[in-house]
C-alpha cells in the first residue's frame, strides 16, 4: 500500500504553495494513504468538515468567519474536534497566521499545522492532484512507452521482435520516448492510467547492435517525455507468410487489455518483411483518434458495400 508522510508532502509542495510549518513538527511522520483502516469513509483533502473528516483539513476565510461567531473557549473546543488520530495535517490558507489557540492545541496534539499564502480552493486542487499521483495504484509493464501524436502508446511484443528499433524510428520521426523495457503505470483516476519511467532508466533506450543510447543527448530535449496517459497498446506479433495470409482483414470488433481495472484499446500489428512498422503505428494512432470521434472507416466501408448490394 502506497503512503506519503506529511514531511514529504511539505517538502514537495513548499515552494509551489508557499507553505510554512507553524506547529506540530513532531507529527511529521503521520502518513496519508488510500486505505484508512480506521475509517473507510475518510477522504484525503478538503475544507474543514466534522461529518466526513478529511485526512488533510483546510481552513480558509469562510471557516475562520464561522469560528469567529463563537466564543474563544468554543473556538478552541471546536478546533480540538479536528485533532483526531487519523488526521494528517491542517492547513491555514490565505488568512495569515493562525490564532494562538490553534498553534497551542496542534503542538500539544502533535498534529502538523501549516499555513499557505494561497487561497484554500487552490491548495485543495494542488494537493488532490499531488496525492492522486503519489498514492495511485500501480503496476509494472514490459514494453516501450512512447508519446506518438500526443497519445501515450505502449509497444509490446516478444523479446527481440524489434520494439526498441521501432521506438528508435518513431523518435527519429519526431515522437517522444517515455520509458524503455520497464514501464511504471499508475491509476491516477477511475478511468485514467498514467505511464512513467523508473528513475534509473530515464532517457535511455537499448538497441541491439548499437547498445544503450541516451535519447535526450542524441536527439535533444524534445525527444523525451516525463509521463503520459496510456491510451493505446500496440502489440507486435511475428507471423509466417501463411499466418499472415489468414489474418482477418475486416476486423470490426475492437480488442482491449485491462490494466489496473481500466480497459485500454489494443491493436495487434503483424511483423513481416517489408512492413513499415513506424508508419503503421502512426496510422493506428490516427485511426484510434478518429474512433474516439465516432469515425470508424471499417464499418463505414461495410455499410457502403451493403447499401450498394441492396441497391443492386
Q: Mind listing the pLDDT tens digit for each residue in 172-227?
A: 999 999 999 999 999 988 889 999 999 999 999 999 889 999 999 999 999 999 99
pLDDT per residue as tens digits for the range 239-287: 765 665 566 665 655 789 999 989 999 998 888 878 899 999 999 999 9
pLDDT at residue 189, as a whole number = 83
Residues 6+ apart with CB under 8 A from 189: 132
Please state, in angstroms and rounded to a whole number, the distance separating the CA atoms of residues 259 and 138: 9
| Confidence class for position 238, pLDDT limits 50, 70, 90 | confident
Cell output for 134 = 503519489
Residues 6+ apart with CB under 8 A from 176: 146, 147, 222, 223, 224, 225
197-233 burial: b if 16+ Cβ within 10 Å, else e:
beeebbbbbeeeeeeebebeeebeeebbbebbebbbb
pLDDT per residue as tens digits for the range 141-167: 999 999 999 999 999 998 888 899 999
Residue 262 pairs in a beta bridge with 259
Model pTM above 0.75 = no
pLDDT per residue as tens digits for the range 74-112: 999 999 998 988 899 999 999 889 999 999 999 999 999
Which residues participate in catalysis according to the annotation?
A: 142, 163, 181, 249
pLDDT at residue 277, as a whole number = 92
CA-closest candidate to residue 98, choices 61, 153, 48 = 61
Amino acid at each position: 500500500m502506497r503512503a506519503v508522510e506529511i514531511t514529504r508532502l511539505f517538502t514537495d509542495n513548499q515552494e509551489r504553495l508557499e507553505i510554512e510549518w507553524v506547529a506540530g513538527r513532531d507529527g511529521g511522520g503521520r502518513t496519508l494513504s488510500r486505505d484508512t483502516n480506521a475509517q473507510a469513509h475518510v477522504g484525503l483533502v478538503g475544507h474543514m468538515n466534522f461529518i466526513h473528516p478529511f485526512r488533510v483539513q483546510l481552513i480558509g476565510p469562510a471557516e475562520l468567519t464561522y469560528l469567529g461567531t463563537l466564543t474563544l473557549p468554543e473556538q478552541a473546543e471546536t478546533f480540538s474536534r479536528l485533532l483526531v488520530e487519523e488526521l494528517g495535517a491542517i492547513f491555514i490558507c490565505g488568512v495569515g497566521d493562525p490564532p494562538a489557540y490553534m498553534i497551542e492545541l496542534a503542538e500539544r496534539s502533535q498534529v502538523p499545522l501549516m499555513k499557505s499564502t494561497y487561497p484554500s480552493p487552490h491548495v485543495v486542487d494542488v494537493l488532490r492532484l499531488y496525492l492522486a499521483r503519489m498514492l495511485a495504484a500501480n503496476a509494472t509493464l514490459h514494453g516501450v512507452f512512447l508519446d506518438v501524436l500526443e497519445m501515450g502508446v505502449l509497444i509490446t511484443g516478444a523479446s527481440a521482435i524489434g520494439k526498441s528499433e521501432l521506438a528508435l524510428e518513431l523518435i527519429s520521426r519526431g515522437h517522444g520516448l517515455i520509458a524503455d523495457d520497464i514501464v511504471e503505470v499508475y491509476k491516477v483516476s477511475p478511468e485514467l492510467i498514467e505511464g512513467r519511467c523508473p528513475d534509473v532508466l530515464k532517457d535511455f533506450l537499448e538497441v541491439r547492435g548499437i547498445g544503450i543510447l541516451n535519447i535526450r543527448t542524441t536527439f535533444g530535449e524534445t525527444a523525451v517525455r516525463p509521463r503520459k496517459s496510456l491510451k493505446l497498446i500496440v502489440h507486435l506479433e511475428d507471423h509466417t507468410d501463411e499466418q499472415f495470409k489468414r489474418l482477418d482483414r475486416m476486423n470490426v470488433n475492437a480488442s482491449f487489455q485491462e490494466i489496473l481495472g481500466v480497459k485500454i484499446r489494443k491493436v495487434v500489428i503483424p511483423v513481416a518483411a517489408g512492413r513499415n512498422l513506424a508508419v503503421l503505428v502512426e496510422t493506428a494512432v490516427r485511426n484510434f483518434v478518429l474512433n474516439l470521434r465516432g469515425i470508424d472507416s471499417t464499418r463505414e466501408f461495410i455499410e457502403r458495400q451493403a447499401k450498394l448490394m441492396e441497391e443492386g
